[in-house]
Amino acid sequence: METAFFVANTFSVPDSYIKKTTVSDRVLVAVHHSWLHSLIRTHQLPEFIVHDVLLPEEVKILLEQGEDLGPHWKKIYVRILHKQTQKVIPLPRVRVESSSSETALSFSQLLHYVAQTNFKNLWKDAFKKYFNVCGAVSNDGKNASRITLTDSDAVMREVILRTFGCPIFRLDEGFIDLYNEDGKKSFEVHCNILPALCAVETPQCFLLIQEPYIKHTLQDCVTFSPALLGTSHIKPLFIIYQLLQAMRSMHDRGLVLGEIALSDILITENLWIQV
């Protein structure tokens, strides 16, 4: 089912307040600031607030045109992460964070670091894929130590916490806050990762509520304004450098950025990107 369908049914949002994006797992939603504030503050799903002046058709037109709906309205992204039923391998340990006084990596050092971690991740993926197939038998004929698989929902919650450091609420259990569980380490979202205000867990999926709203993607930039990047070698390198910084942060947290396209990369007028 489409992302817009899940969002409309979970939050009781009219279709006219939802706009599809070029990314299939992310939609744009126009919400009243008090509705969003109530959701985050009370950890309960409030009744959706419709515009008191504009008709649904007018809201839809303004949203499609990228116009604002008024001073008390804002646009947020809602991204869907579908749940899986099978058991999965637990996440690796988080890399020990470096001190603030450590010298920042240069561009070439950052390339080398990301290349190394990518190589290690390829081996890890191969191990996960072929571990059970090969049987993992030691030389003496006994089974080698095996990795205990864990629930995929628990791993997904840990991924959200490590990536965004945001609270997670369960709809089916009265919005239980999983963020402040004992022993959970807090994480700050990297500056090149689009922040999430919270994540709402349903029986079928996780819904990430993200802001700020950034109108254009890197795909828009190279399609409609190629001269913006073509006039200088420094500008594309600056974007690549930001991507490498985001990848490094994810690798240090035991995660990978995954496959991303130009349409996944949001970009501002000053070439600041968020994925």
Report whether 20 contacts 11 (CB < 8 A).
no
Cα dist from 135 to 123, 126, 141, 149, 176, whole Å: 17, 14, 11, 15, 40
If pLDDT is split at 50, 70 and 90, which confidence band does 97 have? low
Q: Determine the longest span between alpha carbons in the chain, in angstroms.
A: 77
Query: Residue 52, Cα to own-chain centre: how many angstroms?
Result: 32
| The dihedral formed by the CA atoms of 83, 85, 86 and 89, expressed in degrees to the nearest 10 | 30
Q: Is the pLDDT of residue 7 over 50?
A: yes
3-state SS, residue 169: strand
How many residues are given for the chain? 275
Of the two residues 144 and 146, the one the predictor is more confident about is: 146
Say what the pLDDT of residue 260 is: 92
User: What is the per-residue pLDDT across 114-125, written as a single tens digit (0 to 9) for each?
Assistant: 888 877 777 777
Token pair of 140, please? 């003496």
Q: How confident is the model at residue 113 (pLDDT cuts 50, 70, 90)?
A: confident
**CB 17, CB 76: distance < 8 Å:** no
Q: Taking the CA atoms of the chain, what radius of gyration do you get in angstroms?
A: 21
Check residue 89 and give its pLDDT: 86
Q: What is the pLDDT of residue 102?
A: 56
Structure tokens at 170: 């369960």
The predicted-structure confidence for 35-62, as pLDDT tens digits, reads as follows 999 998 888 889 999 999 999 999 999 9
pLDDT of amino acid 269: 92
CB 252 within 8 Å of CB 201: no
